[in-house]
């Protein structure tokens, strides 16, 4: 199995070059197999907010154009958030590798918050934006960060394995959404953590090497906002990986379920039954 990451514009996907087949990413699997009831409320709220914010503009439109605008309006905020997240990730990748960056307008607070996280926990990068995959269960994804960092000397971290110099090797996911960190991050980090292989990239010459997935002692997520950050622990052990594999099977069923229903059955012969209308007798008797 040889995984290659393909990209076109903002989109990317993964291909097994040995077979030429596409391999589903962890994010895609979770999106297709994990129920997200919060999205129902989000869709209604976002559409209502769009209508209020664009009330005068919508009033000048005809009914068809207004309906089209309302249907697509909720995606404007989603796309804006997605673009912001992509930019912050790219800037974060360069910052953690020690590069200087030019900060686009509007992202100053996010970059300042990310830098504060790097400084506060003395983050030492090991693998940044690395592709990981499992040959056994055929899933692939791009993790945000494996790094050595310093966790506080508190009782709740006593059982976390540390190096001789006090660092903890951690697998981290970076989030920039307004809503913060949700439990489904666990089934994103778990398949990354329990993948079999990692494609390591040399930051000097860009060359790649496939290595065994390194073990980590701790998993967490960093919520980066324009006003600060939070580092939160996220449980991503074997139990959460098993949950992900269930989600993967649900996603497979959803993708294949249409094939379970065949074409309409054509009658083999002319029908032998005929409907006959029976009229009441003249005196009103039914028969």
Going along the chain from its start, the domains and CATH numbers come out as 3-260 (3.90.320)
Query: CA angle 13-94-5, nearest 5°?
Result: 15
Residue 240 falls in which region: left (phi positive, over 0), alpha (psi -120 to 50) or beta? alpha
Which residue is it, tokens 């010459």? 205
Average model confidence (pLDDT) across the chain: 86
Q: What are phi and psi of 104, to 5 degrees?
A: -65, 150
- The predicted model gives 276-283 an average pLDDT of 78
Helix axes 38-53, 63-96, angle to 10 degrees: 110
State phi, psi for 119 to the nearest 5 degrees: -75, -45
State pLDDT tens for residues 223-242. Answer: 998 899 999 999 999 999 99
pTM of the model: 0.80
Instruction: State the Cα–Cα distance between residues 235 and 219, nearest whole angstrom.
Output: 7
Q: Which residues pair with 268 in a beta bridge?
A: none
- The model's pLDDT over 53-106, given as tens digits with 9 standing for 90+, comes to 888 888 888 888 888 888 887 777 666 666 777 777 777 777 777 777 778 787
C-alpha 49/C-alpha 41 separation (Å) is 12
pLDDT digits (tens, 9 = 90+) for 127-156: 989 999 999 999 999 999 999 999 988 888
């Amino acid at each position: 199995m040889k995984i290659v990451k393909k990209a076109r514009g903002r989109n990317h996907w993964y291909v097994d070059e040995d077979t030429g087949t596409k391999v589903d990413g962890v994010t895609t699997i979770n999106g297709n197999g994990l129920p997200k009831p919060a999205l129902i409320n989000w869709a209604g709220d976002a559409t209502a907010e769009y209508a209020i914010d664009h009330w005068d503009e919508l009033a000048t439109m005809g009914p068809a154009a207004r309906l089209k605008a309302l249907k697509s309006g909720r995606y404007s905020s989603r796309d804006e958030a997605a673009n912001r997240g992509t930019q912050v990730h790219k800037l974060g990748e360069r910052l953690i590798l020690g590069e200087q960056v030019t900060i686009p307008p509007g992202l100053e607070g996010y970059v300042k918050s990310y830098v504060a996280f790097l400084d506060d926990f003395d983050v030492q990068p090991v693998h940044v934006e690395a592709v990981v995959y499992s040959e056994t269960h055929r899933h692939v994804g791009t993790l945000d960060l494996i790094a050595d960092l310093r966790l506080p000397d508190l009782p709740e971290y006593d059982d976390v394995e540390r190096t001789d110099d006090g660092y903890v090797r951690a697998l981290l996911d970076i989030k920039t959404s307004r809503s913060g960190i949700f439990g489904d991050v666990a089934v994103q980090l778990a398949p990354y953590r329990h993948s079999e292989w990692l494609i390591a990239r040399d930051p000097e010459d860009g060359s790649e090497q496939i290595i065994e997935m390194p073990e980590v002692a701790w998993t967490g997520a960093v919520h980066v906002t324009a006003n600060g950050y939070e580092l939160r622990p996220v449980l991503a052990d074997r139990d959460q990986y098993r949950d992900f594999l269930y989600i993967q099977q649900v996603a497979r069923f959803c993708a294949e379920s249409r094939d379970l229903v065949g074409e309409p059955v054509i009658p083999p012969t002319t029908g032998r039954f005929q409907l006959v209308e029976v009229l009441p007798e003249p005196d009103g008797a039914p028969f």
